[in-house]
């Protein structure tokens, strides 16, 4: 008896769900973890305000895995934080928005400006004491913290700062951006790196090569801030997907999408400015 009623209610649920999804489109994506906060904000705003019938499913499994998913057809699009590689054959990269990587120190550190070269030397174990970094006001040993190899921020840092040399063994590799923020906040001699969205939470962002790590300094070409990058959507080449194309156009052009991007910690690259109220 109970099983029967359970079965009936299950069928009823399915029956209810079917008409609701009629005519709806679900777009399946995967990829970059770094792009996820901004992408999910864009997805939910798009479904809520632009087109109720388009739904998104996004699995943050890492940019490389996302591109593989697009190549073998399991995903219709992928988020990606690095530029195209030869192994990405059969895919098209579309620039969506910008992201900046800030170098942060503890507020007790008096340093305000750091060069890419100094950062490189610290993370390669060549500079080990704050006394070797003029302006820090400290003479303690530097505690560099970074991300483990899973992080998109790690890969970006590796390319942009370390010229693809591995960080030295004195760099603590933490599992999440939030843990990097926490480590820098709690240790006066720490230095770390993380995205724009993490700034102002008990850590101090340094100017890099004299340019402050702020959204307004990170703009379309030429990229003034040295540690800024594009985040891409990767699509299969030559596949026409009108629902996805419409979403991409909206996300890249619409002023509302621009606001969503900035709120979620990204920097809009192409969106029209919203009219001043």
The residues binding another protein (CB under 8 A) are 62, 64-65, 68, 87, 125-126, 128-129, 140-145, 148-150, 166, 168-175, 179, 182-183, 186-190
Closest CB to another protein among residues 113, 187: 187
Closest CB to another protein among residues 27, 142: 142
Based on the number of CB atoms within 10 Å of its own CB, is 217 exposed (0-12), middle (13-18) or buried (19 or more)? middle
Closest approach, Cβ 111 to another protein, in A, equals 18
Closest approach, Cβ 118 to another protein, in A, equals 15
Q: Which residue has the tokens 């307004």?
A: 216
Closest approach, Cβ 37 to another protein, in A, equals 18
Question: Are residues 228 and 180 in contact, defined by beta-carbon separation less than 8 angstroms?
Answer: no
Supply φ then ψ for residue 120, to 5 degrees.
-55, -50
| Cα end-to-end distance, the chain, whole Å | 62
Closest CB to another protein among residues 64, 80: 64
Closest CB to another protein among residues 71, 262: 71
List, in order, residues 6 or more apart from 75 with CB less than 8 Å away.
Answer: 28, 29, 30, 31, 59, 66, 69
The one-character DSSP state at 244 is: H
Closest approach, Cβ 102 to another protein, in A, equals 20
Does an H or E element contain 156, and which?
A: helix 152-160
Distance CA 240, CA 261 (A): 25
Q: Report cis status (omega within 30 of 0) of the bond before 222.
A: yes
Closest approach, Cβ 128 to another protein, in A, equals 4
Closest approach, Cβ 170 to another protein, in A, equals 5
Nearest to 96 by CA among 79, 113, 73: 79
CA angle 94/95/96 to nearest 5° reads: 110
Closest CB to another protein among residues 25, 179: 179
Q: What are residue 231's DSSP bridge partners?
A: 97
Closest approach, Cβ 156 to another protein, in A, equals 14
Closest CB to another protein among residues 87, 159: 87
Distance CA 212, CA 28 (A): 37
Closest CB to another protein among residues 61, 262: 61
């Amino acid at each position: 008896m109970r099983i029967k009623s359970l079965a009936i209610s299950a069928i009823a649920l399915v029956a209810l769900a079917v008409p609701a999804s009629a005519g709806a489109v679900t777009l399946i994506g995967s990829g970059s973890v770094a792009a996820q906060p901004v992408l999910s904000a864009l997805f939910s705003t798009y479904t809520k305000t632009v087109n109720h019938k388009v739904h998104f499913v996004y699995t943050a499994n890492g940019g490389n895995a996302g591109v593989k998913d697009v190549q073998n057809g399991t995903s219709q699009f992928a988020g990606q934080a690095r530029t195209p590689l030869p192994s990405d054959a059969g895919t098209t990269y579309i620039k969506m928005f910008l992201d900046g990587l800030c170098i942060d120190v503890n507020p007790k550190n008096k340093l305000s400006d750091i060069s890419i070269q100094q950062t490189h030397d610290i993370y390669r174990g060549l500079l080990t004491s704050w006394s070797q970094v003029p302006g820090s006001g400290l003479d303690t040993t530097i505690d560099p913290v970074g991300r483990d190899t899973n992080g998109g921020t790690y890969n970006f840092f590796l390319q942009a700062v370390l010229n693809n040399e591995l960080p030295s063994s004195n760099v603590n590799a933490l599992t999440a951006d939030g843990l990097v923020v926490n480590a820098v906040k709690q240790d006066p001699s720490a230095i770390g790196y993380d995205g724009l969205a993490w700034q102002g939470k008990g850590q101090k962002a340094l100017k890099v090569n004299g340019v402050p790590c702020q959204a307004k300094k990170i703009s379309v070409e030429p990229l003034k801030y040295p540690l800024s990058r594009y985040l891409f959507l990767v699509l299969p080449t030559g596949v026409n997907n009108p629902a996805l194309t419409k979403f991409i156009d909206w996300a890249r052009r619409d002023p509302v999408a621009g606001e969503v991007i900035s709120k979620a910690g990204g920097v809009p690259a192409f969106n029209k400015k919203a009219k001043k109220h």
